[in-house]
Each structure stands twice: as C-alpha cells, then as structure tokens.
Amino acid sequence: MNSEMSDKINKDALQALKIAFSYMPKAIEVNKYDYGDDYQRVLEHIEIVRETLIINDVDPEEVAGEINPDHTPNSCY
C-alpha cells in the first residue's frame, strides 16, 4: 500500500465510498467464468476499496447493513 492510501478521506467521500462498496460484488462472487480475463483486476479493485474503508475505521463487513438496513438479513446469533 502506498503512502497516499494511508490518508483518511473526508466524511462525504467516505459515505460515497460506502455506498459504492455496498453495490460491489463480494470477492467470493468474482470468478473467471463471470468476469472473464478481468476477474483479477476486479478482485484488486475490491481489495483497494476494502483497505480504504479499514484505514478510515470502517468495517467492510458492516457497510451493507449500514447503507441498506432494510435489505440486510438480521444476524442469527
């Protein structure tokens, strides 16, 4: 990760990133069959966004529930 990626982003940009991330495919859903030769690039993009969320103290696993709470299943534990 380069030094530019370790900088925190402003509140509005972070909210926009959360919204975009909530619509991105999960890494486990990305494969060569569905994404062709670009699947590795898609995985890299997902990882860059995840890292940026983590740097900004956001748990990527919680983003979907925060952005779309009505469309997120309740936890079972």
pTM here?
0.78
Cα–Cα distance measured from residue 76 to residue 73, given in angstroms and rounded to the nearest whole number: 9
Please give the structure tokens belonging to residue 5: 């990626």
Name the nearest CA neighbour of 61 among 42, 41, 46, 39. 46
| Rounded Cα–Cα distance for residues 22 and 61 (Å) | 10
* pLDDT (tens digit per residue) in 18-77: 999 999 999 999 999 999 999 999 999 999 999 999 999 999 999 988 888 887 665 554
pLDDT band at 7 (very low <50, low <70, confident <90, very high): confident
C-alpha 22/C-alpha 38 separation (Å) is 20
pLDDT of amino acid 73: 60
